[in-house]
Amino acid sequence: MTNASEWARQLHKWHQDDRLAHAYLCVAEHSQSVKKFARLAVGVLLCEHPQNGAACGVCSSCLQIESGNHPNLEWLAPDGASLKIQQMRTAIKSDTLKSMSGNLHLLVMEEVHKLTVEAANAILKWVEEPGAGRLFLLLTTSPSSLMATLRSRVQQMRISEDQEDASGNIQETEVFSFDTQEKWEELQELVREFGDSAFAGARTGWHLVSDKWVKWNFNALQTLAFADLLIHYLHECASTAKDSAAIHRYAELALAAFQVRRQLQSHVNAQLAWETYLINASRRDEGLGR
């Protein structure tokens, strides 16, 4: 079985090899898994500098996706109980106005089993003969409820659940805790090492912390907690720093860490996001986090 991240990486590889089909029916048991897949796939396919099959999270394309206004991405969700024909007509019309340059354009539809019959009929031709560079990701948890005429036009991929999805979405308000004082202190140490590496502009800082990072196998919630602790640490450093250049740098690093924290909420690869953070921190002259 292939999970959301593995499927996203696979699509990216097919894209590089110019072997993408024009439409996929993406099936998972739970809607959060199939949506997670779509977010990862959209990210890596549109990212300007994807690394190891994941979006970088910091390029202008990634930031446009995050802010919900990437010109090459149309993301449709049911309007109330169904995906309605009017939504489809609007989407088709706006698609025909877009460039046919062959650059990748992604069309994501959530819960396609909620297409009304008229809406499904309206998109048959569009899905079968899309414009240049179009890629449809049709998401569903109930493929058998989809009209056979539509189902037969698309390739199917089954996304398996992974642990993180099964445990539910990230709750921002949950409190992070380690089970022993010793581990907690180890974490604080990790945060300090990481923050100091960033301040020193040392890319190698990642190697100091990556062993622990892997060993502890942070879950999604813990990566957010790490970000919070780092931001707190950098603020503390800024408030005790002696000269204005140091204060400025700590403040910039804290802001960039805050941006990483935001990206983490949209399921970017945490390890990659922090590595990129350190790389940006080492490019002192080019500004941080942009």
Q: Helix, strand or coil for residue 10?
A: helix
AA identity, residue 162: D
CB of 56 to Zn ion, least distance (A): 4
Residue at token pair 């190891």: 52
**Residues touching Zn ion, count (CB under 5 A):** 5
Check residue 65 for interaction with Zn ion (CB under 5 A). no
Q: Helix, strand or coil for residue 158?
A: strand
**Nearest residue (CB) to Zn ion, 26 versus 62:** 62
Gap between the Cα atoms of 154 and 25, Å rounded:
6
CB of 64 to Zn ion, least distance (A): 10
- Choose the binding region for Zn ion from 41-49, 113-121, 148-156, 269-277 (rule: CB under 5 A): 41-49
Gap between the Cα atoms of 204 and 269, Å rounded:
19
**Using CB under 5 A, which of 59, 238, 251, 279 touches Zn ion?**
59
**Nearest residue (CB) to Zn ion, 28 versus 56:** 56
Q: How far is CA 164 from CA 35, 86, 170, in A?
A: 13, 36, 9
Gap between the Cα atoms of 245 and 239, Å rounded:
12
Task: Mention every residue, 6+ apart, whose C-beta is less than 8 A from residue 244.
Answer: none
Check residue 231 for interaction with Zn ion (CB under 5 A). no
CB of 66 to Zn ion, least distance (A): 10
Using CB under 5 A as the binding rule, the residues of this chain from 150 to 209 that contact Zn ion are: none
**Nearest residue (CB) to Zn ion, 57 versus 205:** 57
| Tokens representing residue 160 in the block | 């398996």
- β-pair type (105-109, 155-160): unpaired
Gap between the Cα atoms of 82 and 72, Å rounded:
24
Check residue 62 for interaction with Zn ion (CB under 5 A). yes
Check residue 56 for interaction with Zn ion (CB under 5 A). yes
CB of 43 to Zn ion, least distance (A): 7
**Nearest residue (CB) to Zn ion, 63 versus 246:** 63
For the CA atoms of the chain, what is the radius of gyration?
21
CB of 274 to Zn ion, least distance (A): 15
- Choose the binding region for Zn ion from 48-56, 181-189, 196-204, 272-280 (rule: CB under 5 A): 48-56
CB of 199 to Zn ion, least distance (A): 25
CB of 61 to Zn ion, least distance (A): 5
- Choose the binding region for Zn ion from 43-51, 77-85, 134-142, 280-288 (rule: CB under 5 A): 43-51
Q: How far is CA 88 from CA 115, 133, 159, in A?
A: 9, 19, 26
Gap between the Cα atoms of 284 and 281, Å rounded:
6
Strand partners, 73: 106
Check residue 47 for interaction with Zn ion (CB under 5 A). yes
**Nearest residue (CB) to Zn ion, 55 versus 225:** 55
**Nearest residue (CB) to Zn ion, 47 versus 115:** 47
Contact positions vs Zn ion (CB under 5 A): 47, 55-56, 59, 62
